[in-house]
Amino acid sequence: MTILRLICLVFVTCIGLAGPSYAAPIQVTDALGRQVTLPGPAQHIVLAQARHFPVIALLHPDPASILAGWSDEFKTSFQNEYRSYLEHYPRLADVPVVGRHRPDSFSVETVLALRPDLVVLTLSFTGLKAGQSPDDSPLIQRFEAAGVPVIVIDFFLEPMLNTVPSLEALGAALGRTDQTRDFIDFYSSHVQRVKNGLAGLADDDRPPVFIHAHAGSTDCCNSPGTGTFNDMVVYAGGHNIAGDVLKTPTGRLNFEYINARNPVVYVATGTGSGKRANNGLHIGEGATVEDARASLARIIHDNKLDSLAAVRSGNSHGIWHAFNDSPLHVVFIEALAHWIHPDRFPDVSPTETLNTISREFLPVPMQGTYLVDLRPSDSP
């Protein structure tokens, strides 16, 4: 071998060793405690639930560039927010749809045809019941058999338990651990502030709270029973009246029950877009405070809830429903804490928290009204 060929061989070998093909594998622990190995940061991901695209945006500077497929729900159920992201990322219009927002519409074949390097499932999509092994999930089994890495996240069924592990899993899988840690630190400090403010709270100091889910867009009155908003009400120092009778994540309360419990805090939720927009709460991207407040008043009147203590006292509010399946539920927790225990949280401002997240963590700012009070003077 000539000296020139030897030099070239050494040079090529060094270049190869420095290249991405020799990058260390990434070890990810998901919300189920599963250990998942990726050869490197995921660059071609599929989201089983597209509502989590803004969560990816919290952690990645160009979330659209790594999106290989998603469900249709961001386009259909969160139209106003989708339009804002589409203006910033035109390629979103061409991202393949792999299903709707329900597990029974999710097409494994379509996903596999996209050749993703990561599939992000939610705990509710896995089909697993409490205590079941991840190995019992048909979806996880099919992707693993095809050699496609899968991580499971959850901001919905057990949000206070699974939010940080889910963020850590996403951040590790995307190779964005530093940015993810920054957001987790922000999130954790704010929820800890609420926990600290409730130190020593007795059970009989937890006032009854009524969460009116998708208010005005369905028959009265849908409400969260377990997980989701229920966990947040409890964390914020309240007692969710629906949790006493509903043993599923969502269900319906009748007027007689609501009136008998006479909640002292009333919170209506809505998305301000999709099929529920017309009669529902006008809130979210592009909504004005005036429109949001007017729709809140209409919903209370139309559902004959005017006589509730929460309404008579002015402790009635509207909030964006999509806070329920996102780490942005920190905004809802702060709002609840302020509404339920104003004496303990006089200086907590969920609006400022949301503005800080929008300004410092999101590539597409949230511009609109995401929480509103029935009386202007009650705004936190």
Express each pLDDT in 23-64 by its tens digit: 689 999 999 999 999 999 999 999 999 999 999 999 999 999
Helix (H) or strand (E) holding 6: helix 3-18
Domain ranges of the chain: 25-175, 205-378
pLDDT exceeds 60 at position 289: yes
State the pairing for strand pair 265-270/208-212: parallel
Average pLDDT, the chain: 91
316 three-state secondary structure = strand
- Backbone torsions φ then ψ of 171, nearest 5 degrees: -60, -45
For the stretch 186-201, pLDDT in tens is 999 999 999 999 999 9
Are 159 and 231 contacting, i.e. CB atoms less than 8 angstroms apart?
Answer: yes
pTM: 0.90
Whether 313 and 264 have beta carbons less than 8 Å apart is answered as: yes
- The length of the chain, given as a count of residues: 380
Looking at domain 25-175, its CATH superfamily turns out to be Nitrogenase molybdenum iron protein domain (3.40.50.1980)
- Banded pLDDT at 230 (limits 50, 70, 90): very high
The answer to whether domain 25-175 and domain 205-378 are alike in fold is yes
Give residue-wise pLDDT tens across range 113-140.
999 999 999 999 998 888 899 999 999 9
CATH topology of domain 205-378: Rossmann fold (3.40.50)
83 CB-near residues (< 8 Å, 6+ apart): 285
